[in-house]
Structure 1
């Protein structure tokens, strides 16, 4: 039965590669979504931009003050960089064997009006556009290698 044993070993090796490829794809998609949604969020004080928070297997429930407080968008780039930097370790910690999902949440009370187009700094639906951008980056991902 060497043939069946060899086949089983080959399937096990493929399964390990598939898991690794899925894990990389999830991380890549989440990172693109985080960067895109953070950078698209309109900025006045930095509060809304600072509150994009990745969490594994559940939605984040807290709130942060502006990471770099400002006025009239004066700290937009700094808040974007800080939010992305703060969220990246959580995304990188995703482990296909221990986690099911990455949630990217913003609990700022005014995030929905901003996403509805309340600010002229970003189009309505910028959150959906960020998710679509993330999906587009992984569309051709190789999960099962030849």
Structure 2
């Protein structure tokens, strides 16, 4: 008896493309969710630090997303120089999204 799996492999390219698209969408959504949560967690005086959060989302599978803030005093805010946010508020937000990967 022979079992032919050619029917299963006919749409393999489509299945791979769909999976890759879903992966990009997942990383994009997670990146934007982290950005949103960082914005909300950032203490606000004039709003400069909150506006400083910039997200870069992937365009291809296996590309990472990134969120950064180049406001010169964001590190001091994260170190606790504002009573509006706890020390390490950035790390606290990121930890909520860490699922045990590297």
- Alignment TM class, shorter chain as reference: 0.7 to 0.9
Gaps of 5+ in 1: 56-90, 140-146
TM-score normalised per structure 1: 0.57
- State which of 69, 75, 93 in structure 2 corresponds to 1:130: 93
Shift >4 Å, 4+ stretches:
none
Contact 2:41 2:89 (C-alpha < 8 Å) held by counterparts: yes
Task: Count matched residues.
Answer: 98
CA distance change for structure 1 residues 131 and 33 in 2, over 3 Å: closer, same or farther? Answer: same
The answer on 1:95 being equivalent to 2:62 is no
Which runs of structure 2 are paired with 1:1-146 in the superposition (5 Å)?
3-55=4-56, 91=57, 94-96=58-60, 100-135=63-98
TM-score normalised per structure 2: 0.78
User: Relative contact order (alpha carbons < 8 A, sep ≥ 6): 1 or 2 greater?
Assistant: 1
1:10 Cα deviation after fit? 4.1
Contact 1:52 1:105 (C-alpha < 8 Å) held by counterparts: yes
Instruction: Report which of the two structures shows the higher radius of gyration computed on alpha carbons.
Output: 2
